[in-house]
Amino acid sequence: MIYCPKCGTANRQGSKFCNECGTPLSPTGVRCPMCGAMNPTGNLYCDRCNARLIPAERVSPAEEKPERPSPPKGISLPSVPLDKEGWLSELRAEAEELDLLPEEEIPDWLKGLEAPAGPPAPEAPPPEAAIPEWMAGLEAPAGPPAPEAPLPEAAIPEWLAELEAPAGPPAPEAPLPEAAIPEWMAGLEAPAGPLAPEAPPPEAAIPEWLAELEAPAGPPAPEAPPPEAAIPEWMAGLEAPAGPPAPEAPPPKAAIPEWLAELEAPAGPPAPEAPPPQAPPPEAAIPEWLAELEEATPEASMPAEKPAPPLADIPVPPSDEIPEWLRDVEFAPPTREEPSLRPPPIVAVDVHAGVPPVVPTTVPPLLMGEEELPVTAPGEIPDWLKEAPEKEAPKEAPPEFGGLVPAEIPEWLRALQPREAVAVEEEPAEMEGFLAGLRGLLPIGRGLDMPATAQPSLPRAPSPAAVARAELLQGLLSRPLIIPPTAETREAPRKSIWLLTRFLVGVILLAAILLPMLVRLPLFGPPTAPSAVTLFATVDQLAENTPVLVAWEYGPAESEEMDRVAGPLIEHLLRREARLILVSTRMEGPAAAEALIASRLADPSERSRRIVNLGYLPGQAAGVREAIGNLDGRTEATTGLPVSQIEAMAGVHSVADVGMVVVLTAQPDDLRTWVEQVSAANPNVPVVAGVSARVELISTPYLAAGQLKGMVAGLIGGAVYEQQLDTGRGREYEYYLTSLGTAQMAIAALTVIGAFIFLVGGRKR
Amino acid sequence: MTADLIGLIVGTLLTLLVLSYILGDNPLYRLALHLLVGATVGYGVAITTVTVLRTILPALQSDSPDRVRVLIPLILGILLLFKGFPRWSAWGNFSTALLVGVGAAVALGGALVGTIIPQTAAVGSLDIWLREGLAGLINGLIVMIGTICALLAFAFAAPRQPTLRRIWNGSVGVLGQVGRLFLLTAFGAAFGMALTASLTVLVGRVYAVVIGVQQIITAVGMGGG
């Protein structure tokens, strides 16, 4: 998580802007000092160059670790302090020890090298004669050409006047005395830089405010400036090429102020004769510059374009003059734990090569072992220094995305990378038409250029693994086919048993039905049906030429049974000279009625006088109700004539004009409809029924309640009615009844056997 | 070969095809079934069309007041045809409402007058019971008890109070169980009657096949001789 430094909102890792306030978020991580790559926080080594990111620790409990300010939110810095091991402090202590050595023990060249390592010594201004020309060159560009110096010559040198001039307001043409400088001008001079306080004006001319500023700024000046002859030769050699030619004459010796010493000190080595009187900075001061290093980018910490002294001018001391402590400190062999990040003040220098100090952030192998130290000629760059830049320079900083560096792709993953697309041959440009000048729009030529036949590929020798797989497949295919039993195969025997059972039942039923035709079986007595006898008596009481409404509510599907029920009844009505008015709420009813009437009517010429077929009545109950109330408003089904013109319909207008209503049906609903509607229209009209066996159970309550005056139910009822009527079809009914009885017995026997098998054989179905 | 003989042969073959179902569902049975269904539907459509047109057209051609009486059902019938088109089906709502309303009213009135009231009266009519003597009385009592118990068999509610619930379960519950026995008996009898009807049809068809084969053999023999 990255916390916004402004609002403190937690943002996801890698966010560039705060999700709450939009403040840009600094990329978290540690930048490698060697290659510049960003690494996640917590890495000890760089993911790219494997350089150590955090210096190794040297735990020294005696030393007090300075407190570091907590980093601001949103920026993750290494949690381990860079100087945790204290190596920097050790180096500094050794450097101080080096400074405390007697001067006669320190060689000149070492004094020159040590100078930049130590703190600047502003308190020791070099003598006037010691200021080289190059130093004057450094001072010269600091300010524009100086105006006429109003100060006395003895107090302020000319070159100092030149430096001070830009800091203050433009000097008026009229020279003003020192005491005449206004306060506002002094106010401008004060923040101009450290130059003003160090200017040594005459005591009388310096105002008080300037004295106050000057007092804490500079250390006390040395009482005795070193003589000019004390400047070593090497310093002259360093100064000579560094500074540009001085355009002006150097200031007089006595006029060099203290502030100039501060400016000159970093540029050149101080005088060895004047060791810095100030005590070395305490250990607590180390983290300050170390923090500066952390904040600075590698580019910013690159070695400045400092003028390097000519190598030839640096005196090379003999090896035996190097003290032991210096060998141990500066020529320690670099190890992996050796931090590569070095503070700028402490710089090791290859004394043999005489290389000027370089900021160690860019040169990793700064310290080498003595045994590995190559002997190089003066001015020659050692090998290790040559190799160092080569490792760093060619590498380019990879693009960073939100502080993340893309990982290196391993070899195996590179092999999976898609190959570069083959450059498509550019299509020729169209020469004419609307597409003239365009390319690749009609790639016809590519198809025409294809070879007619494909190039046969060379057969490759199969690998042993492929051969083994092929042999295994061949072995599997050569095995005999074994089909595991599936649900379908398991059901096959059961299905065949079931089919056999059905066949046996059918055969038994056929045998039971056909057996009475072959053999007369006196198994059953004469049938009895009181309701049929009652109906016979009712019909027999009808007067001659009585109109009878017959509802023919069965079709060919039920005619096999119903014809033997309705046949005797219809014949009886015809015998009684009744006029039959046929009607049906079923579409096939009129045809079934015509077929039966034709078989029962002895004289077809009497049909028009005795029979009227009103045909089909749509509408079920409503149609029945409408029909029984309007019998003469229809047309005859067979002839198409209005029933009012038919003799059989004479005097019949509604159900109230008929002597009887006969319902012939094989469906319970038809019987109920007719009984209900006739009862609702005219309850005095007698209703009789000839029904199927399945309707007998429903019609019995109507018969018991007196709503039906008589009923013929099923084959038995028909047989009884036939027996009462004696039409000569008794033998046929006897066969039918016997076959029906034997079939019923067979079914009863099969049911018992099936139940027994079910109970004995198990309850599984 | 007469038409009757052809009809006899076709009828016999179709009967055998239908009876082949005893061996399971097979194409022969399917053929006979499809012929039966198709012939029935075609015959029904023809009968309906002829019947309606034969009723309407003469009335429309006449000058009698029956013309107006037929015209209104004709319009209602035409509006009923719009039921076949979802976009225009609303036009047939009135005809449908008329059919449903009139049909329900006629059926309900007939049921009340022809079934419910007479049957209820018959159950408790001692006169009817005694019409056939002791057997009639016993039969009447059985019918009455069976009817009441069968009705109580469908009493699925019970009072919440424990005492009343125990009384209810001890009376209505027991009578309901008796009523279920009557229902089982009635269902068994109905099944037996339906089986008897089916066996009658089967017997008739078997006889028809036997007689048809005899007649076909006779006819072929006579024709060949």
Which residues from A are below 8 Å from B211, CB to CB?
A: none
Give B 101-140 residues with CB within 8 A of chain A: 102-103, 106-107, 109-111, 113-115, 118-119, 121-122, 128, 139
Lowest mean pLDDT segment, chosen from A232-236, A572-576, A578-582, B114-118 = A232-236
* pLDDT at res. A367: 41
- Residue B202 CB neighbours (<10 A): 19
Q: Map residue A584 onto helix, strand or coil.
A: strand
**Chain A residues with beta carbon closer than 8 angstroms to that of B194:** 693-694
Nearest Cα residue in chain A from B204 = A560
Token pair of B155 as six digits: 């009493």
Q: Quick one: which H or E segment has residue A263? A: helix A258-267
Note whether A696 contacts B193, CB cutoff 8 Å: yes
Please name the residues between 561 and 590 in chain A that touch chain B, using a CB distance below 8 Å.
561, 564, 587-588, 590
Residue A521 banded pLDDT, cuts 50, 70, 90: confident
Closest chain A residue to B98, measured at CA = A622
Instruction: Give pLDDT, residue A47.
Output: 82
ipTM: 0.86
Q: A36-50, A496-510, A671-685, B2-16 — which one is most confidently predicted on average?
A: A671-685
Residues of A in contact with B201 (CB under 8 A): 558, 560-561
Residue A275, pLDDT above cutoff 80: no
B185 vs A172 pLDDT, higher one: B185
Helix axes A714-725, A559-575, angle to 10 degrees: 30
Q: Which of B47, B67, B128, B129 to mutate to test the interface with A (most CBs of A within 10 A)?
A: B47
Q: What is the pLDDT of residue A381?
A: 56
- Per-residue pLDDT at A681 exceeds 60: yes
Check residue A363 and give its pLDDT.
41
Between residues B210 and A323, which one has the greater pLDDT?
B210
For chain A, what are the domain ranges? 1-106+280-412, 120-273, 530-728
Give residue B65's pLDDT.
Answer: 73
| CA B189 to each of CA A710, B10, B200, B203: distance values in angstroms, whole numbers, following the listed order | 21, 36, 16, 21
pLDDT at residue B150 above 70?
yes
pLDDT value, residue B151: 92
pLDDT per position as a tens digit, A40-82: 777 888 888 888 887 765 545 444 445 555 444 444 444 444 4
Asked if the model's pLDDT at residue A392 lies above 50, the reply is no
Model pLDDT, residue B156: 86
Q: Let me know: does A363 contact A341? Beta carbons within 8 Å.
A: no
The mean pLDDT of chain B is 86
Q: Per-residue confidence at A292, pLDDT binned at 50, 70, 90? A: low
Q: What is the pLDDT of residues A608-656, one digit of tens each?
A: 788 999 888 888 888 899 888 888 878 888 887 888 888 888 888 889 9
**Nearest C-alpha neighbor of A593 from the set A636, A640, A632, A650:** A636
Cα–Cα distances in angstroms (integers) from residue A656 to residues A358, A401, A636, A651, A686, in the given order: 137, 105, 20, 11, 10
> Which of the residues B199, B209, B210, B214 would you substitute to probe the A interface, choosing the one with the greatest number of A C-beta atoms within 10 Å?
B199
A253 pLDDT more than 80? no
Given this model, what pLDDT does residue B177 score?
A: 93
Q: Which residue of B has its CA nearest to A499?
A: B23
What digits encode the pLDDT tens for the residues B194-205?
999 999 999 988
Q: What is the pLDDT of residue A380?
A: 56
| Confidence label for A107 from pLDDT (cuts 50, 70 and 90) | low
User: Does residue A340 sit in helix, strand or coil?
Assistant: coil
Interface test with B, best of A505, A513, A661 (most B CBs within 10 A): A513
A160-174, A630-644, B109-123: least confidently modelled range: A160-174
Q: Is the pLDDT of residue A474 over 60?
A: yes
Q: Where would I find the H helices in A331-426?
A: 383-392, 411-415
CATH 3.40.50.10160 is right for the domain spanning A530-728:
yes
Widest distance between CA atoms in chain B: 91
What confidence tens digit (pLDDT) does each residue in A658-670 have? 999 999 999 999 9
Whether the CB-CB separation of A403 and A74 falls below 8 Å is answered with: no
Residue in the block written with tokens 């106050």: A212
Distance CA A621, CA A362 (A): 112
Q: Which of A284-298, A493-507, B31-45, B105-119 has the lowest mean pLDDT?
A: A284-298
- Using the predicted structure, report yes or no on whether residue A751 has a pLDDT greater than 80: yes
Where is A192: in which H helix or E strand? none
For residue B63, count other CB atoms closer than 10 A to its CB. Answer: 6
**Residues of A in Cβ contact (< 8 Å) with B207:** 513, 517, 735-736, 739
**Would you state the pLDDT for residue A663?**
95
DSSP class per residue in A668-703: HHHHHHHHHHHHHH-TTS-EEEEE-HHHHHHHHHHH
* Residue in the block written with tokens 């760059």: A381
Shortest alpha-carbon distance between residue A502 and chain B (Å): 6
Q: How many other C-beta atoms lie within 10 A of the C-beta of residue B62? A: 12
Question: Are B122 and A679 inside 8 Å of each other by CB?
Answer: no
- Residue A411: what pLDDT? 78
Q: What is the DSSP letter of A293?
A: H
Distance from CA of A587 to the nearest CA of B (A): 5
Q: What is the tens place of the pLDDT at every residue in A692-706?
A: 999 998 898 898 888
Please provide the average confidence, as pLDDT, over all residues in chain A. 67
pLDDT band, residue A180 (cuts 50/70/90): very low
User: Which residues of chain B does A514 touch, with a Cβ-Cβ cutoff of 8 Å?
Assistant: 206, 210
User: Residues 642..671 of A with a Cβ closer than 8 Å to B: which?
Assistant: 642, 666
Q: Where are the domains of chain B?
A: 124-225
Q: How remote is the C-alpha of A16 from its chain's centroid?
A: 22
Rounded distance between C-alpha atoms, residue A43 and residue A31, angstroms: 10
- Of the pLDDT bands very low, low, confident and very high (cuts 50, 70, 90), residue A398 is low
The DSSP element (H or E) to which B5 belongs, if any, is helix B3-19
Least CB-CB distance to A622: which of B103, B119, B143? Answer: B103
How far is the CA of A216 from the CAs of A123, A220, B92, B128, in angstroms? 13, 9, 113, 143
The structure tokens listed for A422 are 């083959």
Q: How far apart are the first and last CA of chain A?
A: 69
Q: How many CA atoms lie within 13 A of A21 on its CB side?
A: 11
Identify the closest residue of chain B to A613 by CA–CA distance.
B51
CA–CA min distance A482, chain B (Å) = 31
Q: How many angstroms away from the CA of B224 is the closest CA of chain A?
A: 28
Residue A731 sits at the chain B interface (C-beta within 8 Å): no
Work out the widest C-alpha separation in chain A, in whole angstroms: 176
The pLDDT-based confidence of A195 (bands split at 50, 70, 90) is very low
Sort strands A710-713 and A38-39 into parallel, antiparallel or unpaired. Answer: unpaired
The yes-or-no verdict on residue A207 having pLDDT over 80 is: no
Share of chain B above pLDDT 90, in %: 32
* Cα A612 to Cα A631: distance, rounded to the nearest angstrom: 11
* Count of pairs with CB atoms under 8 A, one residue in A, one in B: 158
Pairing of strands A10-11, A687-691: unpaired
Q: Is B200 on the interface with A (CB under 8 A)?
A: yes
Segment A403-420 mean pLDDT: 71
Which position has the higher pLDDT, A91 or A749? A749
CB contact under 8 A, B44 and A588: yes
Q: Between chains, do A587 and B44 touch, taking CB under 8 Å as contact?
A: yes
DSSP A139-174: HGGGS-------S-TTTS-HHHHHHHHHHSPPPPSS
C-alpha dihedral sign at A272, A278, A282, A285: negative
A496 touches B at CB < 8 Å: no
Q: Which of A36-40, B139-143, B186-190 has the highest mean pLDDT?
A: B186-190
CB contact under 8 A, B103 and A621: yes
pLDDT in tens, A131-158: 555 554 444 444 444 444 444 444 455 5
Range picked from A2-11, A192-201, A221-230, A700-709 for highest mean pLDDT: A700-709
pLDDT confidence band for A13 (50 / 70 / 90)? confident
Chain A touched by B18 (CB under 8 Å): no
Q: Return the residue of B nearest to A699 by Cα.
A: B115
Count the Cβ atoms, other than its own, within 10 Å of residue B47. 21
CB contact under 8 A, A679 and B113: yes
Question: Nearest-CA neighbor of A674 among B123, B115, B99?
Answer: B115
Contact partners, residue A730, CB within 8 Å, separation at least 6 = A719, A722, A723
Alpha carbon B158 to its chain centroid, in Å, reads 36
**A contacts of B182 (beta carbons < 8 Å):** none
